């Protein structure tokens, strides 16, 4: 008896399942468990994975409405990018040149440029312009194999403009094939009208912006979790201010994320653990004690190697120490116009292998399953286990390791989201 399914993908040289370990992300030594099936196939029905197994076996047992012949290529889960600032207008190419000339990122920010330069552009833009410019990036992100992407607000920094960004993100979520996870980041920088009055700006976030965002969220049908995030860094928000921002979001039903230890360590990673944040991100200057704390917590440690690379820095997340401590390591692009305009998770994997010294298998698990846990969707996406969304990629190569080994091109041939082909070259 054959079972009728919508889709059978056959003749894959490798199918990388990237299974959950103990019902959760791949932590510590378990990172890089790929569950590879060689000469494999994937059966899909109702937009979900039904089974992964030997192609010869699945061809006999399933009667598929549509068959895709992977023709000896590798199949991997769609990438999950759990940290982006994808919603913006304009660019900051001039600051890139200033940095090459010796100015630092935080110096440019203190002089009124940096994040606040994009804030000026976003405040002046219409929601249509925001949607159009962001859609173009999102389309490239999808073609590079990312099927689930987190997008933060944070270039509005007043209530009206933060709501405009949120509206743009939800419009894209409604029209685009990628799953979009929204994050409220009113605490991304201190806007010019609050210069020198960070506590007053935090009051605005806590008492006005967060409730207004929560109210607007109720008008959308929201299928993914919604997050609150803060840039916990000297020159942005200190530890006490970061705590207030996150607690306000938590009170309004959001889940916590944090930008911690990007340039200096002021305790952001420990705060993440204390508040049971879903993820702590950047983690470049994280002290040993906080690495140990992350190793014992559910908080996913998200490394963003495109950011130090984009800034021309040489210090990266101490990934081996985090893995050694038992942490769940994930990767993300941090795609933004200032530090890292990077739309490619495979490029992030390529950087991570070289500068974080993780293996291609560890990088793949960090960019898929663990990244899904970093946006609270570990039970729905990120691996090719039965019951999960059928989000998968057919590569142009027969070995997944080429994703990290090569760089500068795009090795994704076909992108399948919820069982539908959404991009193909």
- Selection from Fe ion, ligand NIG, none that 115 binds (CB < 5 to 8 A by kind) is ligand NIG
Residue 282 Rama label (left phi>0; alpha psi -120 to 50; beta): left
Please say which residue, 167 or 334, places its beta carbon nearer to ligand NIG.
334
Among 77, 109, 113, 85, smallest CA distance to 307 is for: 85
* Least Cβ distance, residue 308 to Fe ion (angstroms): 12
Are residues 224 and 376 in contact, defined by beta-carbon separation less than 8 angstroms? yes
CA atoms within 13 Å, Cβ hemisphere of 43: 20
* Least Cβ distance, residue 365 to ligand NIG (angstroms): 23
Q: Which residues contact ligand NIG by CB under 6 A?
A: 85, 114-115, 118, 231, 259, 262, 307, 334, 336-339
Contacts of 82 (CB under 8 A, 6+ apart): 150, 181, 279, 300, 302, 330, 332, 371, 372, 374, 375
How crowded is residue 244: how many other Cβ atoms within 10 Å of its Cβ? 18
Please say which residue, 90 or 211, places its beta carbon nearer to ligand NIG.
90
Among 125, 10, 30, smallest CA distance to 359 is for: 30
Q: What is the CA radius of gyration of the chain?
A: 21
- Selection from ligand NIG, Fe ion, none that 339 binds (CB < 5 to 8 A by kind) is ligand NIG
- Selection from Fe ion, ligand NIG, none that 338 binds (CB < 5 to 8 A by kind) is ligand NIG
* Least Cβ distance, residue 161 to ligand NIG (angstroms): 15
Structure tokens given for 24: 């959760």
Q: What is the distance between the alpha carbons of residues 227 and 182, in angstroms, rounded to a whole number?
A: 6
* Least Cβ distance, residue 118 to ligand NIG (angstroms): 5
User: Which position's Cβ is nearest ligand NIG?
Assistant: 338
Please say which residue, 334 or 343, places its beta carbon nearer to Fe ion.
334
Q: Does 334 bind Fe ion (CB under 5 A)?
A: yes
Are residues 90 and 123 in contact, defined by beta-carbon separation less than 8 angstroms? no
Q: What is the distance between the alpha carbons of residues 206 and 344, in angstroms, rounded to a whole number?
A: 34
Q: What is the distance between the alpha carbons of residues 82 and 80, in angstroms, rounded to a whole number?
A: 6
- Selection from ligand NIG, Fe ion, none that 248 binds (CB < 5 to 8 A by kind) is none
List binders of Fe ion among 221-240 (CB under 5 A).
none
Are residues 61 and 52 in contact, defined by beta-carbon separation less than 8 angstroms? no
Please say which residue, 231 or 373, places its beta carbon nearer to ligand NIG.
231
- Selection from ligand NIG, Fe ion, none that 343 binds (CB < 5 to 8 A by kind) is none
Give, as one character, the DSSP assignment of residue 279: E
- Selection from Fe ion, ligand NIG, none that 113 binds (CB < 5 to 8 A by kind) is none
Please say which residue, 242 or 380, places its beta carbon nearer to ligand NIG.
242
53: β partners: 41
- Selection from ligand NIG, Fe ion, none that 7 binds (CB < 5 to 8 A by kind) is none
Please say which residue, 7 or 236, places its beta carbon nearer to ligand NIG.
236
Q: What is the distance between the alpha carbons of residues 89 and 168, in angstroms, rounded to a whole number?
A: 12
With contacts defined by CB under 5 A, name the span among 33-41, 93-101, 187-195, 326-334 that binds Fe ion: 326-334
* Least Cβ distance, residue 411 to Fe ion (angstroms): 26
Among 340, 261, 339, 244, smallest CA distance to 301 is for: 261
* Least Cβ distance, residue 99 to Fe ion (angstroms): 17
* Least Cβ distance, residue 241 to ligand NIG (angstroms): 15
Per-residue exposure over 264-275, b if at least 16 CB sit within 10 Å of its own CB, e if not? ebbbbbbbbbeb
Please say which residue, 36 or 87, places its beta carbon nearer to ligand NIG.
87
* Least Cβ distance, residue 188 to ligand NIG (angstroms): 6
Site residues (vs Fe ion, CB under 5 A): 334
């Amino acid at each position: 008896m054959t079972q009728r399914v919508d889709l059978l993908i056959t003749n894959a040289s490798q199918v990388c399942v990237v299974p959950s370990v103990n019902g959760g992300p791949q932590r510590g030594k378990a990172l890089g468990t790929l569950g590879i099936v060689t000469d494999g196939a994937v059966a899909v029905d109702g937009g979900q994975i039904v089974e992964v197994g030997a192609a010869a076996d699945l061809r006999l047992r399933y009667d598929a409405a549509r068959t895709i012949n992977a023709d000896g290529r590798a199949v991997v889960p769609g990438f999950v990018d759990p940290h982006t600032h994808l919603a913006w207008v304009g660019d900051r190419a001039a600051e890139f040149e200033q940095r090459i000339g010796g100015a630092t990122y935080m110096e440019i920010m203190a002089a009124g440029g940096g994040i606040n330069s994009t804030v000026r552009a976003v405040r002046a833009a219409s929601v249509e312009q925001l949607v159009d410019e962001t859609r173009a990036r999102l389309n490239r992100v999808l073609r590079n194999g990312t099927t689930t992407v987190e997008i933060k607000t944070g270039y509005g920094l007043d209530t009206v403009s933060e709501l405009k960004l949120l509206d743009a993100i939800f419009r894209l979520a409604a029209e685009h094939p990628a799953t979009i996870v929204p994050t409220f980041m009113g605490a991304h920088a201190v806007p010019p009208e609050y210069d020198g009055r960070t506590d007053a700006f935090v009051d605005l976030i806590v008492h006005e912006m967060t409730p207004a965002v929560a109210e607007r969220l109720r008008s959308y049908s929201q299928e993914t979790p919604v997050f609150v995030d803060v840039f916990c860094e000297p020159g942005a928000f200190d530890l006490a201010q970061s705590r207030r921002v996150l607690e306000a979001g938590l009170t309004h039903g959001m889940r916590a994320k944090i930008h911690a230890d990007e340039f200096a360590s002021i305790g952001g990673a420990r705060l993440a653990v204390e508040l049971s944040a879903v993820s702590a991100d950047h983690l470049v200057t994280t002290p040993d004690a906080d690495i140990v704390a992350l190793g014992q917590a559910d908080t996913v440690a998200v490394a963003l190697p495109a950011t130090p690379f984009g800034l021309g820095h040489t210090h990266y997340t101490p990934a081996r120490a985090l893995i050694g401590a038992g942490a769940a390591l994930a990767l993300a692009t941090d795609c933004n116009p200032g530090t890292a305009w990077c739309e490619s998770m495979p490029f992030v994997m390529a950087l991570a292998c070289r500068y974080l010294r993780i293996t291609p298998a560890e990088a793949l698990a960090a960019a898929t399953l663990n990244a899904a846990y970093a946006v609270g969707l570990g039970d729905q996406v990120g691996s090719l286990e039965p019951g999960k969304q059928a989000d998968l990629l057919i590569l142009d190569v027969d070995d997944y390791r080429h994703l990290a080994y090569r760089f500068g091109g795009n090795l994704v041939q076909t992108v399948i989201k919820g069982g539908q082909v959404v991009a193909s070259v």
